[in-house]
Structure 1
Amino acid sequence: MSPRRRHNTQLRRVALLSVHTSPLAQPGTGDAGGMNVYVLNTAKELSKRGVEVDIFTRATASTQPLSHRPMPGVTVYHVPAGPYEGLNKNDLPSQLCAFTAGVLRTEAHRPEHHWDLIHSHYWLSGQVGWVASERWGVPLVHTFHTLAKVKNASLSEDETPEPQARIIGEQQITDIATRLHANTCSEARELHSHYGADLQRIDIVPPGVNLDTYQPRTHDRIAATRRALGLDDHHIAIAFVGRIQPAKGPDTILKGIADLSRRRPELAGRLVPIFIGGPSNSDPYWLPKLAAELGLSDSAMFLDPRHGSALADLYGAVDMVAVPSHNESFGLVALEAQAGGTPVLATRTGGLTTAVADEYSGLLVDGHHPRRWANAIEALADNPSWRHRLGRGAREHSRGFSWSATAGKLIDSYGEMLRERAASRVMTSDRL
């Protein structure tokens, strides 16, 4: 390397790797979720600060262009790797060689040292980032988003454990990455305890929320949305937003309402559970069948995924949002709902203990026993004034998170890493 490159600490261009899901995909179905939102919004904020961002993701349709610029300074590359359709993330390890080749082929058409660093998301991307970082001679930053060992320790009844190949892959990335990013301090501790990660190489970078999009709605807008949903003042609506899969625990809401109906049938009869999302590697009729078995088919609603202002309208129209995940590295849905002034019921697990301020912006529930969720739902359903106070706290709590703040922490982490790398190389050259 030339001395100019060896001593450079200026952040100009970043390559983001998101193999298994595109940041342009609709969250809430298939493999698309909070990670999509994270990658797209951080890329947007980095570009506002003058950093060029190139995102590499797997092509999933023949109609997708090889590259697309969703906004100035951000380019998404759709890399062909395996058949366009019919693959989920569990099938993708067999396509990592093809994906890596596509990424390296793109780099071959760029000037030497085009990117200053690689930031990979999820373990599949980390495997690609490992090869690319060595080939390009740049540092690798990695965010796991979820960890196999943590997921396996808190599986729902219907979940299959994460494979050993993923655990091995995560361990390899932990060992070789220049820097690891965790959403919360608890995730950093999990990286250390489960994978032996050096805490000195972990930076805490909490996700954010778009406070302009997700904000309290006017009374007229709330009333219009409730009318469109068929809700009147008598109804108490509970929304679940996300992929319909056992890991996210949407069945917990139905089981909690069913438990409550045996004690408080008049209250349970007012409850309307609304599920906004699509199936994700599970039986698409699993949740409606459960609703029928529990006698809740008439009250439960199942809606297609939505985003942006349409989703914000829905958050504003319901009385509470439930996030009953078995594990969450953070829980962006909880932040979005709170930003709109809606209290959240969430499992006391992982990053949700940071995303939700217990008894200030919502309630944290221990475990998934139907009675515990019934009690939490009952507590908020019975007390509109408490829901209102929690809603005010929810909005205030959400103000501590923004994508601008997330991008600022990313740039601080990147900059420190580049400076350390440059200093190390100066010391090495001096010894030589």
Structure 2
Amino acid sequence: MADRPENRVFGKREQQHIIIVASGDRVRHMTIRPWMMALAFCFIGMFTIGYLAATSYLVLRDGLIGATMARQARMQHDYEDRISALRAQVDRVTSRQLLDQQVVEEKVEKLFQQQLALTERNGRLDTLLNRAGDAGLADEGADVGTLPATQEPLAYGGRNDKAAGVRAIDRLLGREAAGTVRQAAVTTLYYADPGESAADRTDRMFSNVTLSLKDIERRQLSRIERLTDGAAHTADAIQAILASTGIDLAQTATTDLATDAIGGPFVEPETGNRFEVSLGELDTTLSRLDMLRGTARRLPFGNPSPGGDVTSRFGNRTDPFLGRLALHAGIDFRMPVGSEVRASGSGTVITAGRNGGYGNLVEIDHGDGLTTRYAHLSQVLVKNGDVVESGEVIGLSGSTGRSTGPHLHYEVRRDGRARDPSRFLLAGTKLSAHMD
């Protein structure tokens, strides 16, 4: 290819690059232009850069993957450590809650048992209080020491029953109004000292409930002791009055026990519980009082002629018919003919009718060898075998038999021997202040 002539005006002529390809007789040529060269260099550069980048990636890939995996492993370990710490914290909190719950349940169990014991005691105490009321014993603390009624079940079987027990204890202490559940307890928690922990508040509440229950028990014991002292004082007074008439109380008590038909094997009394001991003492004292009063009602301490004047007393006197000294075995009451004559005590009629100098006579057996005679009656209103009560009308006064005028001849005999009726009448007057 001949060179082109130089351009004298524009300087040196631009050279063109030609590629010639010969194949046999065929010859081909290709002119390489500048843009083609630039494109080729760009392609080669891009290929070189891509190759180097791919080579670098292949070389560094394992390190990057390892670093990423190590980072992920570190993060996983960190999370596992945090989870373990949180789990341990949860376990500690759960364990603490379980321990607190166990302590609370034990306290509720204890309070529930105390409430059950007080409820049972209250039922037993009510029985004795009714007996004491029937016996006429005044109790200034009538509203002290008794438990308010509760509708909560008393059978204990689990946590629900413990909650019921707590509600019953709240109602027991008057802390729960109608339709309000544990209102005072919630109020206490809301208005407690902010610096006070929940455990301290719980302990304080349980302490208050325990103190309240103990206060109820103390007041119950105080009430029992007051009633026991009152019953013992009354029983001692009745016993002293009965003893003044010569009544053998030991024999009377034996007779009453035989009549009551009671018994059973001997068992040592409970001595470890003050309440049980006090309750037993009250029961024993009330039983003793009932026995003495029963004896007093049965024996002839009543007046057969209420309001009648005594015209002749017991003892030696001049016989109105013979004019010489003789024993007057009873006392005489001035009574108009037809006046009511009353039994001085309960018993069984053993004589009813005519009996020599007594005229129309009624004789009553009061037990323990004691009998009473009512003589000179104008009319007998009972018959042999009749059971009469104290104060019951048994006849009408008159002047039958060995008598100078209408009156009632009244005798008291012990084992057939005449005793002074005035002692029994005086004892009856004193006993009236200690009977029902």
Greater RCO, CA 8 A, separation 6+: 1
Q: TM-score range by the shorter chain?
A: under 0.3
TM-score by length of 2: 0.24
